[in-house]
């Protein structure tokens, strides 16, 4: 039996929440600050040393809760954090930004086969902000155009949700506080 030697590299980074790869060897890291006026930023990092090779400008965020990133098929990096969404070039230059309609964290999204980005606001307690279950507002799903990040479809859920989204084709699945939803979304789905 041949022994395999593993090497571990670490780097101390505060409030980093997600890493994605785009092209081979191209690794991007999402980080953010804290509070209700938090910012996020992206770093392209060396996959071996983990040291930053490039960094975005500070991106407007809003209420802090771990956000999400994706390496989109259009070549962009998509960042959703706080109540803002951003589209960055591979060089981490801002190509589009949008303030989302609810002053609440939008934590997580899915990219549909037609490239539409579907996001949901967060409707529960987060550090420093307690919301009793009976006081949670219903959440809203937003479908964003992947280029301009404009809203192309929206759906108010009958319930609050804190779970991440899933999708199968253009059907988005949402786990609510008291129920489970499947909603057709995207640019190819007529508004309902």
Domains of the chain are 16-184 (2.40.128.630)
- Given this model, what pLDDT does residue 136 score? 77
- Given this model, what pLDDT does residue 49 score? 95
Alpha helices in 67-161 (DSSP H): none
Interior angle at CA 164, CA 161 and CA 169, nearest 5? 110
Q: Which residues pair with 154 in a beta bridge?
A: 142
Q: Quickly tell me which residue has 């009958």 as its tokens.
A: 158
CB 107 within 8 A of CB 125: no
- Given this model, what pLDDT does residue 125 score? 65
- Given this model, what pLDDT does residue 188 score? 61
Q: Which residues contact 89 (CB under 8 A, 6 or more apart)?
A: 75, 76, 77, 95
CB 76 within 8 A of CB 103: no
Please state the separation of Cα 165 from the chain's center in Å.
10
Please state the separation of Cα 18 from the chain's center in Å.
9
CB 38 within 8 A of CB 64: yes
- Given this model, what pLDDT does residue 190 score? 53
- Walk along the chain (192 residues) in steps of 10 and give the mean pLDDT of each run: 87 90 92 94 95 97 92 94 96 97 89 94 75 79 95 88 88 83 71 50
């Amino acid at each position: 039996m041949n022994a395999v030697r593993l090497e571990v590299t670490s780097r101390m980074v505060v409030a980093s929440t997600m890493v994605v790869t785009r092209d081979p060897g191209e690794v991007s890291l999402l980080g953010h600050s804290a509070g209700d006026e938090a910012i996020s930023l992206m770093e392209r990092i060396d996959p071996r040393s983990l040291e930053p090779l490039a960094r975005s400008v500070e991106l407007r965020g809003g209420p802090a809760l771990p956000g999400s990133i994706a390496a989109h098929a259009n070549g962009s990096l998509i960042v959703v954090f706080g109540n803002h969404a951003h589209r960055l070039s591979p060089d981490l230059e801002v190509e589009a930004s949008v303030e989302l309609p609810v002053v609440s964290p939008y934590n997580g999204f899915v990219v549909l086969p037609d490239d539409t980005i579907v996001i949901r606001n967060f409707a529960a307690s987060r550090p420093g902000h307690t919301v009793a279950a009976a006081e949670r507002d219903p959440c809203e799903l937003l479908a964003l155009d992947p280029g301009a990040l404009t809203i192309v479809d929206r759906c108010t859920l009958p319930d609050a949700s804190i779970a991440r989204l899933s999708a199968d084709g253009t059907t988005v699945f949402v786990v609510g506080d008291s129920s489970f939803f499947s909603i057709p979304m995207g640019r190819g789905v007529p508004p309902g």
